[in-house]
Amino acid sequence: MYAFAFDRPTTLQNALALVQAGGQPLAGGQTLLASMKLRLAAPERLVDLAGLKELAGIRKEGAGLVIGAMTRHADVAENREVQAAIPALAAVAAGIGDRQVRAMGTLGGSLANNDPAADYPAAVLALGATIVTTGREIAADDFFQGLFATALQDGEMITAVRFPTPKRAAWMKFHQPASRFALIGVFVADTGSGVRVAVTGGGNGVFRHPGLEAALSKIFTPEAAASVHIDASDLNGDLHGSAEYRANLISVMAQRAVAKAAG
């Protein structure tokens, strides 16, 4: 490790001022601290957001839920309102990393990092959630912009995520045993105005699958998902699985997610 300044503000206003002055926000630290140890990241100033109680918590808002950016994965997984309104979202949180990661990692940190194999981006994108920041609101379709890239601007921080409640939804993940990241994860959500399907672990970032969405919007069955051809040409291949293998996993995970959501 190397020398850096460390701040722990107690108000969002102070935190934002520090971040806008060039400080690096520190949420759960499950990615950032590991990157710093490996010298893949070298921020000169860390702004610890752990003391900002206003950024944590879960509440109902209309027909949906609002979850603060600093809410821990474990809290999302165990929250009764999440389990009742969007059980698939609770399932996502419950399957992230290991117990230590779930105890420290945060919703906002995961979204801001946008790892191409992270779980939360799939849920946020499939559910058509809205990311609330210190300056605006960003639709999920506009937020994720590729490998570790988002619509966040310099000095902008996520404060909460607004989730609409779907008619039905489910999450299926085939994880890489060592990292617990998704080799492929598929989140399927029937929103009432159509079906949204988000895939993580297969490309340079989370993405929606138009073919699966079109087929499942017509008839919400595992057979409909199975009938969709999954093109491997744009998918990643590595030592854990070829692009063709991942394409097959997308089909299988989608079928299983639909079967789970349907009943």
CATH 3.30.390.50 in the chain is located at 168-262
Q: Give which of 234, 93, 235 is closest to 161, Cα–Cα.
A: 93
Q: Give which of 43, 72, 45 is closest to 57, Cα–Cα.
A: 72
Q: Give the number of C-alpha atoms closer than 13 A to the C-alpha of residue 260, restricted to the C-beta side.
A: 18
Per-residue pLDDT of the chain (263 residues; tens, 9 = 90+): 678 999 999 999 999 999 999 999 999 988 898 899 888 899 999 999 999 999 999 999 999 999 999 999 999 999 999 999 999 999 999 999 999 999 999 999 999 999 999 999 999 999 999 999 999 999 999 999 999 999 999 999 999 999 999 999 999 999 988 888 899 999 999 998 899 999 999 999 999 999 999 999 999 999 999 999 999 999 999 988 999 999 999 999 999 999 999 98
Q: How far is CA 2 from CA 37, 43, 46, 48, 137, in A?
A: 9, 10, 12, 17, 36
Fold of 1-48: 3.30.43
CATH 3.30.43.10 in the chain is located at 1-48
Q: Give the pLDDT score at 181.
A: 87
Q: Give the pLDDT score at 1.
A: 63
205-259 pLDDT per residue, tens: 999 999 999 999 999 999 999 999 999 999 999 988 999 999 999 999 999 999 9
In this structure, which CATH number among 3.90.1150.10, 1.10.287.1080, 3.30.390.50, 3.40.50.150 belongs to the domain 168-262? 3.30.390.50
**Residue 245 carries which DSSP code?**
H
Scan for tokens 């949204």, then name that residue: 196
Q: Give which of 113, 132, 90 is closest to 206, Cα–Cα.
A: 113
